[in-house]
Amino acid sequence: MPMNKQYQAYQNNSVNTASPGELTLMLYNGCIKFIKQAIKDIQNNNYEAKNTNIQKAQKIIHELMITLDTKIEISQQMLPLYEYMTHRLREGNIHNEMEALEEVLQLTTEFRDTWKQVILQTRKNKYGQGAKV
């Protein structure tokens, strides 16, 4: 099997066997990756790629929004933050505004880091020790 197909199979297996918490972490990581690339695209005046990467980040945030359990209080607090992030990404895309993208990058990174700590603490409580994420 060629290396590219092996990597794709590994990625598919990672997603298919991940817990819901790990999937959320993957979404945050993907969003961070696309925002960072969009910032580079603006710096390189590659506006078509910037648009594509921002749209990918927006789709990830939309996925995070629709998977929120609105019966849980923290979800009700997260929804307006996700809406704000989507708005800022749109502004960054329309006006090539790196500050808007950097703001969303910072928020996403903070959410990801917090989520990672939740997963680690949950594993520690369940298994008696932390596991790397």
- Please indicate, yes or no, if residue 4 is contained in any of the structural domains: no
Number of domains in the chain: 1
CATH code, domain with 56: 1.20.120.340
Model pTM? 0.84
- Please indicate, yes or no, if residue 37 is contained in any of the structural domains: yes
- Please indicate, yes or no, if residue 75 is contained in any of the structural domains: yes
d(CA 44, CA 66): 33
Give me the pLDDT at residue 10, please. 47
Q: How confident is the model at residue 12 (pLDDT cuts 50, 70, 90)?
A: low
- Tens digits of residue pLDDT in 45-101: 999 999 999 999 999 999 999 999 989 999 999 999 999 999 999 999 999 999 999
- The sign one gets for the Cα dihedral 89, 102, 26, 37 is positive
The mean pLDDT value of the chain amounts to: 90
**Which range marks the domain in which residue 41 is found?**
20-127
- Please indicate, yes or no, if residue 122 is contained in any of the structural domains: yes
